[in-house]
Amino acid sequence: MPLVKQIRRRGGLERLAKQHGLRLTRQRRLIFAILESAKTHLNAKQILEQAQRLEPGIDQVTIYRNLGVLKRLGVVDELDLLHLRGDQHYYEARQVRAHSHVACLACGKVFEFYTSAIKTIDRELEKECGFSVSFTRIEIGGQCAACRKSGREAPLPRKGKQAR
């Protein structure tokens, strides 16, 4: 599974903040820093827990409000990762290169996959429909190589509540 090193827009937060009349509070910087350095996709609760280690008084509303702001600015993306683990939403700092999220339905692992086909779709939409693409989200479900080898199947008719 080829994992390309992540490339991110740097130092854009200050510029964007000034542009939109936003203030760079300690809390806002912290939340953005957590997302930028995250190695996995985090949900709101996990972001809160990480933030509270450095900023014990921080409240969950501050997390939600800032996730909202960062989403609107386009520096953070909200994902559902195919609802594999319930109805959670996950967040990641937006990277320069668009990528797909590939989830194994058998073992639950989520990979990132980079392909030029994403650009192809964007170009087609532009040419065929006159649609100007701002961002693309691709989520793919299936069975990873390891699970195919070991014969591990997706527990298809899954029952009951998924882990929250």
Q: Does 33 contact its own copies by CB under 8 A?
A: no
Closer to its own copies by CB, 20 or 26: give it.
20
Within residues 48-77, the interface with its own copies by CB under 8 A covers 69, 72-74
Tell the residue number behind the tokens 């299936």, with chain if given: 142
Which residues ranging from 113 to 152 are in contact with its own copies (CB under 8 A)? 113, 115, 117-118, 120-122, 124-125, 128-145, 148
Query: What is the residue type of 50?
Result: Q
Query: Is 56 in a helix, a strand, or coil?
Result: coil
Q: Is 112 one of the binding residues for its own copies (CB under 8 A)?
A: no
61-67 long-range contacts (CB < 8 A, ≥24 apart) are 62/27, 62/31, 63/31, 66/27, 66/28, 66/31, 66/32, 67/31, 67/91
159 token code pair:
């029952």
Residues forming contacts to its own copies in the complex (CB under 8 A) are: 1-2, 20, 69, 72-74, 78, 80, 82-83, 87, 89, 100, 102, 104-105, 111, 113, 115, 117-118, 120-122, 124-125, 128-145, 148, 154, 156-158
